[in-house]
Each structure stands twice: as C-alpha cells, then as structure tokens.
C-alpha cells in the first residue's frame, strides 16, 4: 500500500534561518507531488507541484523553492525564513489518474 | 482556489440538522469533484467524490450532488453529529491533457468551517 512521510511534525526556526522540509512517498511510481501552506483557520494555498522528476511548477512568488531530486521525494526549501512563512505545511501526492490526493501529516512551522 | 468558489465560509448547525456546502467551478471540462474533511490539527482526508457521469452519490450520512449545466456541486451531511465539526474543502481539478499547461495542478475551494452544536 502507498504511504506518505513528511517530517518534522513541528519546527521552530529563527527569522533568517534556512528551511528544508522533506516528503517521501512509498508504494507508487510517478506520483504527482504537491506542497501546500495553510495559515491558521484558512484555506489550502498551493505552493508548488511536480508531475515528474525535475519538473516543478511554482504557484506563488515567495522566498520558498521546491525540488524533486528523486521520483518519490519532494523537498521544500528556503534560504532565509520570514515571519510570514509561519504556517502549517502539507505535502500531498496523487497517482497518474489524478483523482484522490493523499496528504502527509503536516509540519507546523513557527518562525520567531 | 482560482477555479472553484466555495460557500459558505462558516456554517453552524444543531446536532441532528442537515448541512449543505456548495462549490461552483469554472472549467466545464472538469470531470472529477472530491470533498475533503480536515479535523483540527490533522491532515485533510477524502470523504466522498463524484465523477461527471453521475448526478449524485451517497455514502451513509453524506452525499454529493453535481449539476454540470450550472457547474456546481454540493456536499450534503444529514443527521449531523459533533464529530462532523471540521473544515471541509472541495476541488474541481481542471482536465488537461498530459504535457499541457497546468497539467496535474490541484487547488481547493476556500474551505468551510462546520460547527455542530450538541
């Protein structure tokens, strides 16, 4: 069966520090991968998505970047965090049929 | 989401009442319409979905109806219970051919905070 791993679950980082959040999927090939951010009590903002290795689509201009070094690995990064980067970050994957999305447990990032 | 509008943003009902959340989409080629439930502090999870070749789908107390002509679909929860309290999201992924612009993109409605009072 397919599983998605996202870590860490919580993270407190100072302003100006770098960020690296990792997401891996098991049990499937060629997944479509997604990074979302959710502010408290708000909706799911699509940040990046990837339909294949090295293919990254960016949805929102910001100081974040994403990479997909392997088929089932999706990494969200920042060189210098801002206070406004605080939020709940969710990784998700969908199969090639593009139906149900499966989400990771999420990372609650607090920038202080 | 840029291709789907969801209403209301908040909904408060008494236990046992029904709740209805509606989403309107713009891409007439969309053919898959899921609903997700996100409990506080948890990840969103699919609760029901419908394809464009049917008008209604039911699963116990939840149902989804689709009106392709009007381009809207709704989530119906009957006999609501306190554990139904959560944020609900809809999506209407655009249908694109592989390799086309925005292929694979998935955005969600703004979300509805449902509160069921005991």
The pLDDT value recorded for residue A25 is 97
**What are the chain B neighbours of A99 within 8 Å (beta carbons)?**
32, 34, 49
What Å distances lie between residue B10 and A63, A99, B44, B71, CA to CA? 31, 26, 17, 22
- Residue-wise pLDDT for B79-102, tens only, equals 999 999 999 999 988 766 555 567
Of the ranges A38-42, A78-82, B63-67, which one carries the lowest mean pLDDT score?
A38-42
The residues near B9 (Cβ < 8 Å, ≥ 6 apart) are: B110, B111, B112, B113
Q: How confident is the model at residue B1 (pLDDT cuts 50, 70, 90)?
A: very low
What mean pLDDT is predicted for residues A67-82?
96
The residues near A10 (Cβ < 8 Å, ≥ 6 apart) are: A107, A108, A109, A110
The pLDDT value recorded for residue B97 is 54
Please provide the average confidence, as pLDDT, over all residues in chain A.
Answer: 93
What mean pLDDT is predicted for residues A85-89?
95
Is the peptide bond between A8 and the residue preceding it cis, with omega within 30 degrees of 0?
yes
Tell me how many degrees the CA angle B14-B15-B21 measures, rounded to the nearest 5: 70
Q: Bridge partners of B51?
A: B32
Contact B27, B95 (CB under 8 A): yes
Please provide the average confidence, as pLDDT, over all residues in chain B.
Answer: 92
**What are the chain A neighbours of B89 within 8 Å (beta carbons)?**
43-44
The residues near B95 (Cβ < 8 Å, ≥ 6 apart) are: B27, B29, B30, B31, B32
The pLDDT value recorded for residue B99 is 54
The pLDDT value recorded for residue A71 is 96
The one-character DSSP state at A72 is T
* A-to-B residue pairs, Cβ atoms closer than 8 angstroms: 59
The pLDDT value recorded for residue A2 is 81
- Residue-wise pLDDT for B50-75, tens only, equals 998 899 999 999 999 999 999 999 99
Which of A42, A44, A57 has the CB atom closest to B105's CB atom?
A57
Rounded Cα distance between B88 and B75, Å, is: 9
Hey, is A41 helix, strand or coil?
coil
Minimal C-alpha gap between B101 and chain A (Å): 10
The pLDDT value recorded for residue B30 is 86
Interface test with A, best of B34, B107, B113 (most A CBs within 10 A): B107
Hey, is B61 helix, strand or coil?
coil
């Amino acid at each position: 069966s397919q599983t998605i791993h996202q870590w860490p679950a919580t993270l407190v980082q100072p302003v100006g520090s770098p960020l690296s959040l990792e997401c891996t999927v098991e049990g499937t090939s060629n997944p479509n991968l997604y990074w979302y951010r959710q502010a408290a009590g708000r909706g799911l903002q699509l940040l990046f998505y990837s339909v294949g290795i090295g293919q990254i689509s960016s949805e929102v201009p910001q100081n974040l970047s994403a990479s997909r070094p392997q088929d089932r690995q999706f990494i969200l990064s920042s060189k210098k965090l801002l206070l406004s980067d605080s939020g709940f970050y969710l990784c998700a994957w969908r199969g090639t049929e593009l139906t149900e999305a499966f989400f990771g447990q999420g990372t609650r990032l607090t920038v202080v | 989401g840029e291709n789907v509008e969801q209403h209301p943003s908040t909904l408060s009902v008494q236990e046992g009442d029904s709740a209805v959340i509606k989403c309107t989409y713009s891409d007439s080629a969309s053919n898959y319409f899921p609903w997700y439930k996100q409990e506080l502090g948890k990840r969103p999870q699919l609760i029901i979905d419908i394809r464009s070749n049917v008008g209604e789908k039911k699963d116990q107390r939840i149902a989804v109806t689709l009106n392709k002509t009007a381009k809207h679909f709704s989530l119906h929860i009957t006999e609501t219970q306190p554990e139904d309290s959560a944020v609900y999201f809809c999506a209407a992924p655009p249908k694109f051919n592989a390799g086309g612009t925005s292929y694979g993109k998935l955005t969600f409605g703004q979300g509805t905070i449902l509160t069921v009072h005991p």
